[in-house]
Structure 1
Amino acid sequence: MKHKNSISRRKFVKNAVLLTAAFPAAGSFSKQSDISKTPAAEPVALKWLDSEAPVKLSGATWGVPWPKGVLKKDVSLNLENKDGKSISLQSWPLAQWPDGSLKWTAHAIGANANLPEGLTLKPGKAPTSAKQIKVDETSKSIDIDTGIISCKLNKSGNIIISSISRNGKPALQHGKLVLLVQDRAENEPGESVNSELFDGRIESVAIEQKGPVRAVVKIEGKHSTGKKNLLPFVIRLYFYEGSDAIRIMHTIVFDGDENKDFIAGLGVRFAVPLQDELYNRHVRFTGEKHGVFSEAVRGLTGLRRDPGQAVSDAQVGGKATQDASTFPATVSKRLNYIPAFGDYTLFQPTPDSFEIQKRTKGGHGWIQSAFGGRSSGMGYLGSPLGGVAFGIRNFWQSHPAQLDIRDAQTELAEVTMWLWAPKAAAMDLRFYHDGMGQDTYEKQRDALEITYEDYEPEFGRPVGIARTSELSIQILAATPTNAELSNLASAIQNPAQIICDANYYSKVGIFGGAFSAVSNKNPLEEKINRQLDFYFDYYQKQVDQRRWYGFWNFGDVMHTYDDDRHVWRYDVGGFAWDNSELSTDLWLWYYFLRTGKNDVFRMAEAMTRHTGEVDVHHIGPFSPLGSRHNVQHWGCSAKQLRISTAANRRFYYYLTADERVGDLMREQIHADRTLREIIPGRKIGQVAPKNDSKEELASISFGTDWGALSAAWLTEWERTGDEKMKTKLLNSMETIAGQPHGFFTGVSTMDLNTGKFESADPKQLSVSHLSSVFGLAEICAELIQTFELPEFEKAWVRYCELYNATPEEQKAVLGESLTKLNLKQGHSRLTAFASLRKKDKVLAARAWSEFYGGEAGIKKPVLKVTQLTGPLVLNPIDEAEGVSTNAVAQWGLAAMQCLAFAGSELK
């Protein structure tokens, strides 16, 4: 089979790196298509996610979708503010349509843009700035100048950031990764714990973008003692034109022995040169609700002898004091007797409390300085002549976290941003039970009947799970005011994000057109909207009330509720963490696209980060599969593509152009080969194909397996133009359509080289209620929208029409009726899609009947919560009757897609 639009991945990536405001390389998507007669791209109105322009912008990146055939390959784009003033812009392609036009584009602006409300993206040449980023590379280092700060990065060794200066003044040096590992989780009386210090050793460095507005450097390596390597890492550093900040994306993959390697500290460390007098050296930490801890290394206030109000005011305000010679003699001649506190620690052990301690120096005791609830996780060290602000995003949410300042009384202080706090207990990733005798498949299936946990020895290990964290370093020209530092902390916690209006997203029809913008013209739709809002608000509050936080937990929600204990079933087998079960991720993202709400975006973002990293094995024997829901995110022996699917990641990638999420989706393109070894249905009779001596065949289901594979292949092709991915995808689509019963065939053997399925036995008829509820419905809608394959559309629409049909209707088409079906309400969206493609009002009415019938879903949605307090429960909580995550996610997706596909028949 031969297809058009060939491009090598290497060529596309190279072009994307070099693109600036225009799109000269976008044409390399297609050499043969002619879209010169298609409509011209119209201006796209943009807005800030958080409703108003940020107080201080350090740069922003976002994605914009385009209808098929509209954005030509050679069109340049310009960004204007409401006054018609153009803003320096960097643009590059994210995805293509089959005709060679652009499907998604990415854009970046720097820190010096004039950015009120009313931004518009339109065809036109973008201006360049005098402060555009400069990137110089040698065999040993990379130098990046944003116009404000200059940064030198090493390409080998254990020092990643060699130095950073602002306007020629050194501000930071020796930036590195640190890891503390101990050989026990805790020590019993009389036992000792041995620990080792690792630092990050660079193995490869790549410049992914080099300006003019945005530069990105990717650094990969491992933590090492010189004798032992542990925890591979991926670090990305982001620089923006005119910005004094560096955004750091920090990813680690666990590759240790969870029974021997207990992480006691994980962080980023750097040195800060200090030359000012000790009383002009300032330390700051942000707390909660704009609170700021503010002190000097050598304090001049509260002394027995008063230095004078001017001196006190200057020090408290972070301003330069008068020279010490002008102080009252009662103070100036005794400065050496005032303790200099060089060490400070902000420690957040739980989501509800932090403490700040300080001491004069090592070897001396700590004193308690302050306590609080939820720190926003930013610190500052410097003088009135400048310093470094540093912070961790989602600081308290990802506890235990810690910020350290050491040796601030010397000429070279040390700062460490701890993603796992050394003051906390060591990280313990061991499985939570001993197997309870489940040494055969029969016993494991029997145990599943009581705890819903799919257990198998050695399958509950954490090897391969990952965690991505976001940090920031900002080089300031002076000590910030408390208000300024609070604003900087807010900017880290809620980064500036530009989005399109929900009506535009809906009009373009992105992601299969499986949503519509909110409308309250129909009272019945208005009622659905209220219910959608209620469910989101309820889960958002549950996250906080139930404290679904922590380094490995933040971003996920729980699966099922325990009405008797008034808790979610956090300790019961497969009922605990949700791990994307029944498409919770998709529910949140489609709800965001429909509403444009910032709190929905933030919750969906956190879930994407979590489910794409923690719930997936990125290395090891299970790579790149995900783990089914469990008490521990990695604990279930059901390692499946339905969890790791790229379908859950595509939203965030295209809306933000996030490179790490791009990596996660690329991991999935060869996942079909893992299914040869980790057979999803191995406990219920699924076996590897026979006569596979060349290891080129795999048993692949058309539902959760192929749905995930097709999402990965589609995404890789539209991102890179990889012809092999497109061929494999189209081959698989055509051979599913060619099966005796299409999607109702259920499973067949795939040739891993070509993507073609073997033709199954005509007598084979198989269907599962899970097949289409992990992204298959949504990705098929997008495949039909993208490619013109009538036979595939026919096969999918037939599946959509017949799944919820009567037994008689099923038998008339398939020769027999379908049995053991479930999730009828969730599948109403399939009926709605069939009604749209067939333009069948009867099917549309049937879809709404199925939706409101609520079978195997939510029959009577509630808008009421019951508030419980002690002594019945530990903490005040809300309960909503009949709410479970599976049901809510499926109800939400069905509601939104029925509105999108059959909304005109809602009566």
Structure 2
Amino acid sequence: MGGASLLAGAVGFGGAPAFAAQRARSIPATPVRWIDDAAPALSPGQTFGVPWPRGVLAAKGPLSVTGADGVALPSQHWTIATWPDGSAKWTAHALPAGTDMPATLAVIPGRPAAPQEPVTVREAADRIEIAVGSSIWRIGKSGQALIQSADSDGRRVMDAFELVASVDSAPEKGTRTEFIGRIDKATVEQTGPVRAVVKLEGMHEGAGRRWLPFVVRFYAYADSRHLRIVHSFIFDGDAKKDFLSGLGLRATVPMAAPFHDRHVRLATADGHLFVEAVRPLTGLRRDPGKPFRDAQIAGRAIPPLEGMPKSVSSLLDRIPSWSDFTLEQPTADGFAIRKRTKAGQAWIDATSGTRSLGLGYVGQPTGGVALATRYFWERHPAQIDVRGAAEDKASLTAWLWSPDAPAMDMRSYRDVDGMEEYDAQNEGLAITYEDYEPGWDDASGIARTNELTLWACPATPTAEALSAMAKTNAVPPQLMVTPERIHEAGVLGPWGLPDRSTPMKARIEAQITNLADFYADEVDRRGWYGFWHHGDVMHTYDRDRHQWRYDIGGFAWDNSELSPDLWLWYTVLRSGSGKIFRFAEAMTRHTGEVDVYHLGRFAGLGTRHGVQHWSDSSKQPRVSNAAYRRIFYYLTADERVGDLMRALLTSDQTLEHVEIGRKVPGAKRTPLPKGVIDFSFGTMWCSVAAAWLTEWERTGSKLWRDRLVAGMDSIGRLKYGWLAGSAPYDLKSGRFMGPGDTISLSHLNAVFGAVEINAELLDLLDVPRYRTAWLDYCRWFNADKASWEAKFQMPFKSRNLKEGHSRLTAYVAKETGEATLGTRAWAEFMSGEAGLGLSDGDPRVTIDAPGLIRPLVEWPDVSTNAAAQWGLAAIENLALVPDALASVQGPK
């Protein structure tokens, strides 16, 4: 289907929306696909976003989701972004849980079907009650129990569900203090009938202290017996004193069945299970009989004891009962399971394995609880504990940080080493590329979000059911609108669909695919795992050691440097690849949480790349950048990421007391009035503007539109516009000040989402001066010396990242129609100057030698800076000036 068909029925733009001619037939079906190209065996409930071309759909237009047969499915939808004319830009859609989801789906105008077991929400004075069929969840509004209790099939299967934590006073042999979460605020965000969401906010408390702020969301879907949990917390302690030694979520499970009818299940690797009872009836010296053994292994109640040989039934009390079980995953590659009869007795080794899927269950034939952690082994050290299974109440704890592992040590990895003053710090930057400053390598204020699933089970599930539950939680199915349909909507900046119509285009497309695959595979090859690390990649490779430079200053963890997040999401938009979607998703979860400060003196800023994610002293909005979160948010309607972007709306204010350029050698610092700061256009203003743009789209608020226009218009009024690079910025009005009569070209200004965000801004807002200023910048950044000196009475200075900046030239070529600029853009790209370069074939090589830690795959001369900018330039140049490629000869 073409864009024209999508636009049928749109009768006006700007001002009040005009939708009088809109009818169901004017909006064609929107195809939706599973990112793994097949319907899942089990769906826990789905939420996905759908983009709409400007002026096509009224913000509250009725929509339905159908299968291939055209029959409406139960669904729920809401608008998450609008165009300036008030029409819907993005809608979100929710589908129930189930095992019989269609392989292909479509979004069409119309009324959805009603779910078989809808979600209902009822508020009382002390709780919020969510009901789905026979499952009832009573969520607390205050106190320590996030969930007060849960029923399934009319029986109580869970008592309190709580957050637990502990902190040690030293990294080794310290005094341990226990904490428990307490709710401060409860908000119902959605009420069904297909999807309900409840948000809880609070702090952990214990020993007279309140700390570790948390946000927990519970998601209930129609036709389900589970809650999806999104758990976020902020580390707000003192890294020199607070060594977090445990962080978990704990369910209390009532137990009344005989010990031989109490069941424990722990997920091992690849969908397999550790299956045991509290009192085993198998392997005994005397055989109870096959019906009894089979029932216990299957998790059913055993037959009446009258049918068991008395030689066994009379001696059941002589069989030890195993009350406590632990599965500990201390590394990404190994777990161990232990059990004991009770506290004070020895632990017995049960088994071990590689990568547990992170699910635990404890219960009885009349019901129990299963709890699973996504990214269980990837974010080690993790743990699952069952305690008190032989008592009246058992507990099931999913530890996000294992209490049996060494405590978190978030102190600086280095000493001051004589670098108290700026001169010495700049010398350190010159040799290790890390911008160190005492006291600025502070972890206080960073966060982490984890996802879990909690099931209220009416009986002990079968092994097959538990295996499916574990696999679904570990790798959740995800729906996504087809790339063709997303592209037709005209959203998210300059990108196009894959084009292999000529040999050179095919060669570029092959490298786009190969490069993303290389990085996705490097995660496992290089073990980029761990609680704080998972989702990030390294910055630069060391060819001598055949190792990424994990221990060399600013060459270590990447922290979004030069926009790998954007590169990966644009790759997803074009391909719909499930592999790259999940890679980019993990990066979004990491970079938006761990690399960003959520409270304290650096709130709203992120940390430049370093050995630790927080170790560099450069705290900047270019890392907290909402441009890196937007695409994931719109594809999934993820509320947590929505919160993160909203929290950045006032992040520019933090720069009044965090001066980014304080160490620049020889910089002339003219005192500025209070409330005025020096603000660069790309790394700073565009990064914060991405948050304002998103908020304007999400809410329609003129406040944020006007702030965007203020910045755009004031840049456009400077003598040299964008070429000035930066200018004094009034924090109150959002306007730039001063004449802007000098040119300052930084190679960083346009490579942190500025190209992509500006493309969206200029599509949405008519600010002629700004358009001129931006197009001038795009035209002249990569210009040759002769052209520059003919235009400007200023000396030509060398540029950097020519390859990546070729997409600026391509942008102005597209906007002006100047064919020579299109040719120039491709010549700049093909030069490979200060970039990755285009390979002839797949450049990856496998190497193996005794001096290597294992057989490795290398991409010659790779760096994440070069990879991200090459990927973005390749994708955008193909979208902007595809035909100009024919006139340029590629590298041999």
**1:234 is aligned to 2:208:** no
1:617 partner amino acid: Y
Contact residue 306 and residue 331 of structure 1 kept, 8 A: yes
* 1:346-745 to 2 correspondences below 5 Å: 346-512=327-493, 514-684=494-664, 690=671, 692=673, 695-745=674-724
Separation in 2, partners of 1:839, 1:76: 40
**1:613 aligns to what SS in structure 2?**
coil
**1:84 is aligned to 2:62:** no
* 1:87-126 to 2 correspondences below 5 Å: 87-112=73-98, 115-126=101-112
Give the C-alpha shift of residue 893 in structure 1: 0.6
Alignment match, 2:803? 825
Separation in 2, partners of 1:100, 1:645: 26
Corresponding residue pairs, total: 870
Separation in 1, partners of 2:20, 2:578: 38
1:608 partner amino acid: T
Contact residue 508 and residue 838 of structure 2 kept, 8 A: no
Separation in 2, partners of 1:198, 1:563: 46
Contact residue 220 and residue 232 of structure 1 kept, 8 A: yes
Instruction: Report Cα offsets for 1:158-211 as digits up to 9, x if no partner.
Output: 111100111211111111100111100013xxxxx2110000011111111111
Instruction: Report Cα offsets for 1:567-615 as digits up to 9, x if no partner.
Output: 1110011110000001010111001111100000000000000000000
More displaced 10-residue stretch of structure 1: 40-49 or 247-256: 40-49
Contact residue 454 and residue 637 of structure 1 kept, 8 A: yes
Structure 1 residue corresponding to 2:845, chosen from 842, 861, 866: 866
Give the C-alpha shift of residue 91 in structure 1: 0.9
More displaced 10-residue stretch of structure 1: 52-61 or 649-658: 52-61
Contact residue 36 and residue 72 of structure 1 kept, 8 A: no
Alignment match, 1:344? 325
Separation in 2, partners of 1:664, 1:806: 41
Instruction: Report Cα offsets for 1:706-750 as digits up to 9, x if no partner.
Output: 110110110111111121111111111111111111100111122
Alignment match, 1:4? none
Query: CA 1:570–1:736 in structure 2 vs 1: closer, same or farther (change >3 Å)?
Result: same
**1:51 aligns to what SS in structure 2?**
coil
Contact residue 622 and residue 683 of structure 2 kept, 8 A: yes
**2:709 aligns to what SS in structure 1?**
helix
Structure 2 residue corresponding to 1:64, chosen from 30, 50, 65: 50
Structure 1 residue corresponding to 2:789, chosen from 802, 807, 811: 811
1:833 partner amino acid: Y
Give the C-alpha shift of residue 798 in structure 1: 1.6
Alignment match, 2:311? 330
Give the C-alpha shift of residue 317 in structure 1: 1.9
**1:317 is aligned to 2:298:** yes
Separation in 1, partners of 2:363, 2:121: 27
More displaced 10-residue stretch of structure 1: 620-629 or 54-63: 54-63
Contact residue 148 and residue 242 of structure 1 kept, 8 A: no
Alignment match, 1:265? 246
Separation in 2, partners of 1:573, 1:454: 8
Give the C-alpha shift of residue 442 in structure 1: 0.9
Alignment match, 2:862? 883
TM-score, normalised with respect to structure 2: 0.95
Alignment match, 1:752? 731
**2:18 aligns to what SS in structure 1?**
coil
**1:511 aligns to what SS in structure 2?**
coil
Give the C-alpha shift of residue 108 in structure 1: 0.7
Give the C-alpha shift of residue 686 in structure 1: 6.1
Give the C-alpha shift of residue 136 in structure 1: 1.1
Alignment match, 1:5? none
Separation in 2, partners of 1:481, 1:760: 73
TM-score, normalised with respect to structure 1: 0.94
Contact residue 446 and residue 597 of structure 2 kept, 8 A: yes
Separation in 2, partners of 1:354, 1:699: 51
2:624 partner amino acid: S
Contact residue 740 and residue 759 of structure 1 kept, 8 A: no
**1:247 is aligned to 2:228:** yes
Contact residue 745 and residue 760 of structure 1 kept, 8 A: no
1:665 partner amino acid: M
Give the C-alpha shift of residue 148 in structure 1: 3.6
Contact residue 59 and residue 82 of structure 2 kept, 8 A: no
Give the C-alpha shift of residue 38 in structure 1: 7.3
Give the C-alpha shift of residue 453 in structure 1: 0.7
Separation in 2, partners of 1:870, 1:312: 51
2:369 partner amino acid: V
Query: CA 1:707–1:338 in structure 2 vs 1: closer, same or farther (change >3 Å)?
Result: same
2:94 partner amino acid: A
Query: CA 1:817–1:87 in structure 2 vs 1: closer, same or farther (change >3 Å)?
Result: farther
**2:641 aligns to what SS in structure 1?**
helix
Alignment match, 1:14? none
2:748 partner amino acid: L
Separation in 2, partners of 1:35, 1:312: 67
Contact residue 825 and residue 853 of structure 1 kept, 8 A: yes
Separation in 1, partners of 2:346, 2:772: 75
Give the C-alpha shift of residue 688 in structure 1: 7.5
Separation in 2, partners of 1:383, 1:195: 34
**2:735 aligns to what SS in structure 1?**
coil
* 1:176-195 to 2 correspondences below 5 Å: 176-187=162-173, 193-195=174-176
Query: CA 1:357–1:830 in structure 2 vs 1: closer, same or farther (change >3 Å)?
Result: same
Contact residue 41 and residue 100 of structure 2 kept, 8 A: no
Alignment match, 1:9? none
Query: CA 1:295–1:134 in structure 2 vs 1: closer, same or farther (change >3 Å)?
Result: same
**1:669 aligns to what SS in structure 2?**
coil
Alignment match, 2:6? none
Structure 2 residue corresponding to 1:844, chosen from 803, 822, 827: 822
Alignment match, 1:168? 154
Alignment match, 1:204? 185
1:44 partner amino acid: T
More displaced 10-residue stretch of structure 1: 381-390 or 895-904: 381-390
Question: Unmatched 5+ residue regions in structure 1?
Answer: 1-28, 188-192
Contact residue 230 and residue 450 of structure 2 kept, 8 A: yes
Separation in 1, partners of 2:535, 2:824: 36
Separation in 2, partners of 1:392, 1:796: 46
Give the C-alpha shift of residue 784 in structure 1: 1.2
**1:725 aligns to what SS in structure 2?**
helix
**1:712 aligns to what SS in structure 2?**
helix
Separation in 2, partners of 1:622, 1:683: 17
Query: CA 1:216–1:30 in structure 2 vs 1: closer, same or farther (change >3 Å)?
Result: farther
Contact residue 81 and residue 114 of structure 1 kept, 8 A: no
Structure 2 residue corresponding to 1:34, chosen from 11, 18, 21: 18
**1:310 aligns to what SS in structure 2?**
helix
2:727 partner amino acid: S
Separation in 2, partners of 1:766, 1:708: 19
Contact residue 116 and residue 223 of structure 2 kept, 8 A: no
Alignment match, 2:889? none
Contact residue 148 and residue 243 of structure 1 kept, 8 A: no
